[in-house]
Amino acid sequence: MKTRIVALSALLILGLIISAQAETELFSRFKDAYGNLGSDLATKPPAEVADITDFTYTKDLATFTFTEGKMYLLRKLEGRPTTAIFLGKGHAQIDVPSHVERQSLWYASGDSLVDETFEVAMMNFSDDFDLKLREKFQFEETVLSWRDFNNSQQGEFFFKPVVMHQYDNYFQLLRSLFERAEDGYFWIDFNRYCYSFDPNRPEEVIVAYEHEGGDIEPTDGAVVQRREKGVYDDSLMSDIAYPTTMLSRTGELRMVGLDGTNIERASITCRVLVNADSLRFLSLFLHHNLALDSLFLDGAPAEFWRRGSFTFLGLILPEYRFRGDTLSLRFVYHGTDYRSALPFVENPTPTPHELTFDIHTGYNYIMPAMTPLESTERGRSRFSVTPAEPYRMFRFQAYASGFDTVNVISDIGVTLSFLRSSSIDKHHFNCFIPDEQYQSTVTSAFNYISGRLGPPLAAFAVSVYPEPCASMPGLMGVSQTDCHADGTGGLVMQAAEAAAQQHFGALMRPATDREFWLMDALPDYLSLLAVGNVTGWDVFFGELRRRRDHIYTVLDNNEDRPLASGRRINTVDRMAKGAWIFHMLRCMMMEDPGKTNDRAFWRYLNELKMLVNTKLFTNEDVIKLTEKHYGAPLDWFFKHWLYERYIPEYKVEYRIEERDGSHYIEGEVVTEKVPADFKMPVVMRVISEGGESVYLRQMIEGNQASFELGPFTFTPKELVFNELHSVLSKDKVKKR
């Protein structure tokens, strides 16, 4: 999201939440250091300064040359400076070795590498940067003038932790400072770039860029692991060594509020496995709308640090823990974000859940594996949920209004329980969908999806909730009050997407966030297929073209980046391009495109369903399974559509010829906007003078290609290039 600098004063209000126990000596030092990092450099702070020439500093993928100028060292913590400001002539060179991340950097900055001269640079560090400087130059005591600070304040602005940062930069620097080493934390701002090396993140190197003037944070372009790990191959980018893994989440949530959606008190115990060789500082996350009241480690109060309105919180362990150790962490908190109610760590591995809910009697909640209500104190009840399957994120729906249900048995025997609320009817909404139409449409969509994919893995009954909400196994959120424009998938699409999320949703087990495109794309594309089946294929292709047009707009605005960039891509973009990937695969798997026989594609989806819901999967796992069902290697396909940007533009000229009593179509194709090794099978339809059609599939390779179709016993009249929209492309076709 983009937010203008005018919001700075509101966003930089410091709200720190710390444990109330007697402080350890380390935590006291940490607090003091954190406060000093936030000190205002505009107030002429003490500093050291030196005139430097020809100083080169290499930090993993980056080499910085400070040709000549003035270098300030500031903010001494634990006896050494942690901030530097350079004014003069310098040069930065960053070579990103990963193909997919070079493509992602191109989106952010307009170039796939960094080769920049600069006159101002600001650095924050807890590595050996200051020691290397002192080896060559003599520093003297001074104060930082306001003028020199003013020249470098952009770096100060981008480094300060604000609410949109995933991590607290101050905490990340300090955790490295208290374990100070040569490969410690290093962050630099120059021109519109920010480069960071953080040894305590799963992927240590980030090259970011101020994508638009006035951004409150730079856009992460390239994100890779440190050079020595050598993880640069596109197919290996999901091989990430997370420092911790969440093993389980158990506990109790006490729900209150007029609609039952506020968390008065949550007490959740998480078992966390240590994967790193050693850990003293731990990264944890809790939704920013949830206020953390206390945190306990193995039953004792723990020392933690969290800025107000931050999702990130840092835990400081009383002693080092080592690989294989298990931590028992109990979080006590309250707040309003009940749909993201549980703590998490960086590793997205799903976990078992065992939760008890304390609720107002008469209030209702929908979630998988609920036990019957038990009365407790006056006006309160409780129930438990212990799903048999692990969930990546366990969500639920609060539904305080009175309702009854109408049960419908689906074609595969799963009961759909439609919730009917007295607060949702045609008297309150302009676009209320009558119950009969609503129930029949949702049932039809569920039958279409589950009739091909079988029963959901985790649900033997599904509640259909008539307001927008997050769907997951056992819960379909399908609005009964949405206004749908004519000619769109409308209610059918919404219902089918919710039905698809019964199979491809919260049970999916991505190894990293680089697989998240799959979780958005598959439900979306399956909803389009349901629309085609129910309302007609003209609407299906219309919706497909609408997604194509969105992708065109993203391209025209230079906003495109590879899908394997992960959650750096917004959800709408992931859905649009990802749905097209599955559409192209479906066309490629059809034995006879003219009959649109897609049984092979559904066989593939059934095995894909088992893969992504029963084991940790990577993009490479998905590719291997797809190749199995396609019957040939598909590295050329995924290289472009998953790991690169852009879409092809075909310029086609064809002519109809007669030779030896038969007819042929000869064509030339110029393919632009893609690399020379790009290739795709294109479905073509040859229409005879009598109106009959023959469907063919032709591989078009490289930037220039020719093809010959035939011989035909009939006289061709017209060629339809890229029939069925078999390739995501722009096409210009001319008959000569």
Distance CA 577, CA 554 (A): 10
62 inside domain? yes
pLDDT, position 11: 34
**Angstrom distances, CA of residue 477 to CA of 8, 398, 465, 544, 587:** 37, 12, 5, 23, 30
Give the pLDDT of residue 428: 56
Q: Are residues 599 and 514 in the same domain?
A: yes
Nearest CA among 303, 306, 298 for reference residue 318: 303
Axis crossing angle, helix 599-614 with helix 571-589, rounded to the nearest 10: 130
Measure the CA–CA gap between 643 and 681, rounded to whole angstroms: 19
Q: Of 513, 506, 518, nearest to 471 (Cα)?
A: 506
Whether 73 is in a domain gets the answer: yes
The whole-angstrom separation of Cα 542 and Cα 309 is 42
Query: Both tokens of residue 392?
Result: 């990546």
Q: Are 728 and 598 members of one domain?
A: no
39 shares a domain with 168: yes
The distance from CA 628 to its chain's CA centroid, rounded to whole angstroms, is: 27
State how beta strands 374-375 and 380-385 pair: antiparallel
Domain CATH for 592? 1.10.390.10
Taking 50 as the pLDDT cut, the residues of the chain under it are 1-20
User: pLDDT digit string (tens) for 111-125?
Assistant: 999 999 999 999 999
Q: What's the confidence (pLDDT) of residue 23?
A: 84
Residue 588 and residue 517 share a domain = yes
pLDDT at 14: 40
What is the DSSP code (8-state) at residue 171? H
370 and 296 within one domain: yes
Task: Report helix, strand and coil shares of the chain as percent, to nearest 5.
Answer: 30, 35, 35
Question: 56-108, pLDDT tens digit by residue?
Answer: 999 999 999 999 999 999 999 999 999 999 999 999 999 999 999 999 999 99
Is 210 found in the same domain as 82? yes
Residues 534 and 494 placed together within one structural domain of the fold:
no
Specify the pLDDT at position 120.
97
Read off the tokens for 394.
Answer: 């366990």
Q: Indicate the number of domains in the chain.
A: 5
Peptide bond between residue 387 and the one before it cis (omega within 30 degrees of 0): no
- Residue 560's alpha-carbon distances to 106, 542, 606, in angstroms, are 9, 22, 30
- φ/ψ region of 97 (left if φ > 0, alpha if ψ in -120 to 50, else beta) reads alpha
Say whether both 257 and 141 belong to one domain. no
Say if 393 falls within a structural domain.
no
- What pLDDT, on a 0 to 100 scale, did the predictor assign at position 433? 87
Residue 395 belongs to a domain? no
CA distances from 627 to 57, 246, 562, 634 (A): 45, 32, 20, 6
Residue 466 in contact with residue 433, Cβ under 8 Å?
no
For residue 396, being part of any structural domain is answered with no
Whether residues 437 and 566 share a domain: the answer is no
49 and 94 inside one domain? yes
Spatial distance between the Cα atoms of 589 and 583, rounded to a whole number of angstroms: 10
Asked if 589 contacts 604 with a C-beta cutoff of 8 angstroms, the reply is yes
The backbone region for 75, taken as left when phi is positive above 0, alpha when psi lies in -120 to 50, beta otherwise, is: left
Give 328-384 as a DSSP string.
Answer: EEEEEEEES-GGG-S-B-SS---B-EEEEEEEETT-EEE-TTBPPPEE-STTEEEEE
Residue 474 DSSP one-character state = T
Determine the structural domain holding residue 372 and report its residue range. Answer: 244-387
Residue 430, pLDDT score: 72
Give the CATH number, domain containing residue 725: 2.60.40.1840
Beta bridge partners of 207: 195, 222
DSSP 433: P
**Final residue belonging to a domain, choices 236, 271, 304:** 236
Listed residues 599, 624, 645: the one ending a domain: 645
Tell whether 271 and 420 lie within a shared domain. no
Is the entire prediction scored with pTM above 0.85?
A: yes
Residue 392 lies in a domain: no
Domain membership flag for residue 421: yes
Domain boundary among 355, 387, 419: 387
Cβ pair 278, 308 in contact under 8 A: no
Residue 176, phi-psi category: left (phi > 0), alpha (psi -120 to 50), beta (remainder): alpha
**461, 356 Cβ separation under 8 angstroms:** no
Residue 69 φ/ψ region, left for φ over 0, alpha for ψ in the -120 to 50 degree band, beta for the rest: left
Q: For position 3, what pLDDT does the model report? A: 37
CA distance linking residue 130 with residue 71, whole number of Å: 10
Report yes or no on 82 lying in a domain.
yes
> For residue 558, what pLDDT is reported?
84
Q: Are the CB atoms for 507 and 348 separated by under 8 Å?
A: no
Residues 481, 561 within the same domain: no
* Interatomic CA distance for residues 308 and 290, integer angstroms: 10
Residue 39, pLDDT score: 86
Query: Which residues are bridge partners to 244 per DSSP?
Result: 274
597-601 contact pairs (CB < 8 A, 24+): 600/629
75, 56 contact by CB (below 8 A): no
Q: What is the CATH number of the domain that holds 316?
A: 2.60.40.1730
